[in-house]
Amino acid sequence: MTEAKKVLRRKTLAKWLKESILRLGPTFIKIGQQFSTRVDILAQEYVDQLSELQDQVPPFPSKTAVSIIEEELGGPVNDIFDRFDFEPIAAASLGQVHRARLKNEEVVIKVQRPGLKDLFDIDLKNLRVIAEYLQKIDPKSDGAKRDWVAIYDECANVLYQEIDYTQEATNAELFASNFKDMDYVKVPSIYWKYTTPQVLTMEYVPGIKINRIKALDQLGVDRKKLGRYAVESYLEQILSHGFFHADPHPGNIAVDDVNGGRLIFYDFGMMGSISPNIREGLLEAFYGVYEKDPDRVLQSMVQMGVLVPTGDLTAVRRTAHFEERLAAQRKEKEELAAAEAVVGFKQPLSKEEKIAKKKQRLAAIGEDLLSIAADQPFRFPATFTFVVRAFSVLDGIGKGLDPRFDITEIAKPYALELLRFREAGVEDFKKRWERQNQAFYNLFRQADRVEKLAQVIQRLEQGDLKLRVRALESERSFLRVAAMQKTIGSAVAAGSLVNLATILYFNSVRMPAVATYMFTAFFSIQVLFGLLKVKKLDQQERLITGTA
């Protein structure tokens, strides 16, 4: 299998995938649009084919589009517009776009595909069944879980809003208002007189798709700067306004040469909104990372609903403090090296002792991570689905613009600017107030704390409160013993059943013998799975303890 044959095979499979997605319809086209930006995940042949889903979806007949416009606007298109181009300039998953002239102004008219709501009803009904199934089988612990039905409801709500073009027009104007002071973002103006739930008329703003690298180079814009603008614009949407574009694939973001390269946003049907408590939690998380305060980060995660406060957070807290401890160890090591250089001081620990201490620290971290994985104290609000998706797409776009693109490095200065703004305002005042009045605060808090401690002791004595002490090594041992017991039980059952089946078969009792053999196969598979589970647990134990 030569490389040329592999490339040809990938091209064939990619074309089949694109055509299959087109046959499945709008819901699946949107999934394909998301993956069309992941140049770091998919081979280039798949990216090339899936990119056609962004604005090269087959259009529907122009006669149908004209009849929808005339019915919605209440008159012939030639009477409403000075010029109307019957050939569409673009077709997307939910509609297609025609150019026109209106009172000496160039406009575009977005027309919705016919029968879209009925198609959504069918697709989303099937997807809800999948969401309900995932909700049942998803492991739950301490109340933490991924709420698949809530994620489905959020997605369905956004998709149904997307087929109401009056809502899209409202979203576009709000988005434009949020970016009115930023000259690197352009949003087309809306013509409300010619806008209805199925027809949207807006300003014609041409541009080059943000993933057309050669065309962008010919335009002479700075691709690295464009990647930074894209990330900063999303941080502004999410952290400052709590209202963001939830479908940022390259078909919806273009670039022109105004102001050295300006981002043009299209298609405001899919928009996400973040509640004030989540937005404030995100800022608190940024602030906690900046201040190297793991407890503050954990508190912000609880505030956002990402971390379950009722769970056992000991392992999470210890892991969060790990980087802080590691930095302290590095500082200690540097100071010791400096002392050695000055006075010739020798390290008291041998090489073997150092290795043993390092293994001990890694084992402690491994235990904490295993405990976190077992308890699953994390959950994510449905809104985060769109936030993660948006930044995933942006990451793909950025890597296409600049191979050295790093979304975290671009986000860091913006986040620090927000944090400095907070420090200069109420947050800084609050810090100074707390420092100056800490003694006064503690004077009145101590009595309250003593009283609460007395209440806790009383509840322990009465049996209303139980103290839970975790021994992670014992938990892992019990888990392995339980897996071994189950495996041995399945092996005994399989052995007994195979004997019974053989006796029945030789006594010509064929049907019960076949049924018993099937049960034997089932228990044999359980034995295999049990052995694999025990092997996995042993590997985890070796990884945690650092043994070979």
Task: Point out the residues that are catalytic.
Answer: 247
Neighbours of 120 (CB within 10 A): 19
Of 188, 156, 185, nearest to 171 (Cα)? Answer: 188
CA 274 centroid distance within chain: 14
Give the residue carrying structure tokens 């940024």.
Answer: 286
What's the distance, CA 432 to chain centroid?
Answer: 37
The CA distance from 160 to 167, in Å, is 10
- Contact in structure between 268 and 248 (CB atoms under 8 Å): no
**Amino acid letter for position 46:** Y
**Maximum distance among all alpha carbons in the chain?**
95
CB atoms under 10 Å from CB of 155, counted, come to 21
Rg (CA), the chain: 31
| CB 50 within 8 Å of CB 18 | yes
Q: Please, how many CA atoms are within 13 Å of residue 520, restricted to the half-sphere of its CB?
A: 14
Per-residue CA distances from 340 to 72, 330, 348 (Å): 83, 15, 11
Tokens 């989540």, residue located:
278
Q: What are phi and psi of 90, to 5 degrees?
A: -160, 150
In the structure encoding, which two tokens stand for residue 376, read together? 């699953």
Output the CA–CA distances (angstroms, integers) from residue 313 to 322, 371, 469, in the order listed: 14, 10, 13
Q: How far is CA 263 from CA 33, 179, 226, 269, 406, in A?
A: 19, 11, 8, 18, 19
| Residue in this structure with the two tokens 């025990």, named with its chain if needed | 534
Distances (CA, A) of 51 to 209, 213, 461: 11, 13, 67
3-state secondary structure of 136: helix
How is residue 43 written in tokens? 């081979």
Q: How is residue 294 written in tokens?
A: 């793991």
273: enclosing H helix or E strand: strand 271-273
Q: Indicate the SS3 state at residue 515.
A: helix
Contacts of 351 (CB under 8 A, 6+ apart): none
Q: How many Cβ atoms sit within 10 Å of the Cβ of residue 271?
A: 23
Backbone angles phi, psi at 111, to 5 degrees: -115, 130
- Contact between residue 200 and residue 269 where contact means Cβ atoms under 8 Å apart: no
Strands (E), 360-409: none
Q: How buried is residue 367: exposed, middle or buried, by Cβ count under 10 Å (0-12/13-18/19+)? A: buried
The DSSP symbol for 237 reads: I
